[in-house]
Amino acid sequence: MTFVSQGNGPTRVSLVATYELGRQPFGIASPAAWLKEAGVEVITNDLSRQELRPEVLNSDLIAFHLPMHTATRLALPVIRRVRALAPRARLCAYGLYAGLNAAVLRDLGVEYVLGGEFEGELVKLACGHGGRKTASSAEGIQPRLRFRVPDRTGLPGLEKYASLQMPCGDRRVVGYTEASRGCKHRCRHCPIVPIYDGQFRVVPREVVIADIRSQVEAGAQHITFGDPDFFNGIGHAINLVREVNEEFPELTYDVTIKVEHLRRYEDKLNILRDTGCVFVVSAVESIDDDVLMKLEKGHTEADFEQVVSLCREIGLTLSPTFIPFTPWTTLRDYFELLQTIDRLELVEQVSPVQLTLRLLIPERSQLLDLIANDFGAWLSPFDRERLVYPWRHLDARVDRLQEGVTELVGKQLNIARTQMFEQIWKLAACELGEFGQPRTPVTPSRATVAYLNEPWYC
């Protein structure tokens, strides 16, 4: 397919993001660098912070970055609108959730669907060498790219995005980069698996450091490493944080590391602490070993508790994330999760939104067979607006509790975590029929911890 420029100049490509968890969109900055290097005119538009720019509608190719579920849901009405307003433009979608939702996107008029390692394919498309309408990267074969330093010119400044709230009350400007992409693991519920299928790619250190340098020059005081698992390439990760810390000793950062890796590389955790890591996010998901087994997470509840102790011993803040509502979760399981968080003195370290989350079953989920076998009658057909297979719990009280907790948290995004936890506790106890009975008092927080002030999650 060769694009005919709508004007007299070079091909004009618009890169559009709808939501990247309150971050300046890396998924726009990275391909922007590739496209500009190829001589393409690039327009960037982050709809989480900007209106739809009129120039976008005059582009030859309009490409939507869909890295996550919420971003994709938000993109659907935008794609419809753009399709109607710019009938001559070719539409493309790229990123993890583009590959997962190819059929829905095509029905909206998206012609090209690219997957996880998309930059090279986008350049080919823009330069007239792209042939396949569904790129191999959307089907699980990830090319090996020669990564470029992302180009952030034209995007809103870092200060317009979520910031890091420090325990002392200070706020730090946050940048974002990726030192690796994909993941070596195959957890059953993870949307990365159908696209990367165990493949992971390391971004060269010099590229990551150049990207961090440009963000520090733009005001960043903290960097979020968005790698699905920062310790997938342990040598790369450790060398990188040492080098970054040497060049930017005042810079803080956060990373995401699975429980299994936190245990395996426990001797490396002090290096994280000493190089400016202010917290480690870890997808614990559940404290029920049966559920963890179904999700193939590679850790147990005991591993999680061990990691909590380890991190506490060395003074590294752990920020656990959960999927508390699954088809297998009982009311008592939920209450036990609250009790465990309380007992382990983690109330301040768990964002309240984590206590609302319901297992998402997107298209191509590895969980589909398992859930259909266990709960077939409670699984509905794919919902093309919500982009999930909706499920109902066998016990209606669990669904009611999930709705109640979500409403509580949604209405009070800015209250203290301990207060929110108390309210959730009461609601769960009430649903369980234990309201009024003696209970462990909510542990007063040890200390408030640093956190990113973007309340949403997936």
Q: Footprint of ligand SF4 on this chain (CB under 6 A)?
A: 183, 185-187, 190, 192-193, 228-229, 258, 283
Residue pair 23/162 in contact by the 8 Å Cβ criterion: yes
**Which neighbouring-strand residues pair with 180?**
202
Minimum gap (Å) between residue 151 Cβ and ligand SF4: 27
Closer CB to ligand SF4, 42 or 190, in the complex: 190
Least gap, CB of 193 to ligand SF4 (angstroms): 5
The least distance separating ligand SF4 from the CB of residue 319, rounded to whole angstroms, comes to: 14
**For ligand SF4, which is the closer residue by CB, 12 or 297?**
297
Q: Are 260 and 242 in contact (CB under 8 A)?
A: no
Q: Which of 149, 91, 140, 156 is nearest to 119 (CA)?
A: 149
| Tokens representing residue 361 in the block | 């079953």
Residue number with CB closer to ligand SF4 (130 or 191): 191
Provide φ and ψ at 143, rounded to 5°: -70, 160
Q: Which strand (E) or helix (H) includes residue 278?
A: strand 277-285
At closest approach, how far in Å is the CB of 367 from ligand SF4? 12
Which of 429, 448, 414 shows the shortest CA–CA distance to 337?
429
CB of 115 to ligand SF4, least distance (A): 15
Q: Which is nearer to ligand SF4, 149 or 179 (by Cβ)?
A: 179
Nearer to ligand SF4 (CB atom), residue 53 or residue 188:
188
Number of H helices, E strands in the chain: 16, 14
Report the DSSP beta bridge partners of residue 78: none
Beta bridge partners of 218: none
Nearest distance from residue 131's CB to ligand SF4, in Å? 30
Classified as helix, coil or strand, 313 is helix
Nearest distance from C-beta of residue 255 to ligand SF4, angstroms: 12
Least gap, CB of 244 to ligand SF4 (angstroms): 22
Give the chain's largest Cα–Cα span. 76
13: three-class secondary structure by DSSP: strand
Beta carbon nearer to ligand SF4, 323 or 401: 323
The nearer residue to ligand SF4, 185 or 222, going by C-beta atoms, is 185
- CA dihedral in degrees (214, 211, 125, 386; nearest 10)? -100
- Would you tell me how many other CB atoms lie within 10 Å of the CB of residue 87? 9
- 116 vs 276, which CB is nearer to ligand SF4? 116
Q: Which of 74, 162, 95 is nearest to 386 (CA)?
A: 74
Which residue from 229, 328, 243 is spatially nearest to 281, judged by alpha carbons?
A: 229
Tokens found for residue 212: 């961090």
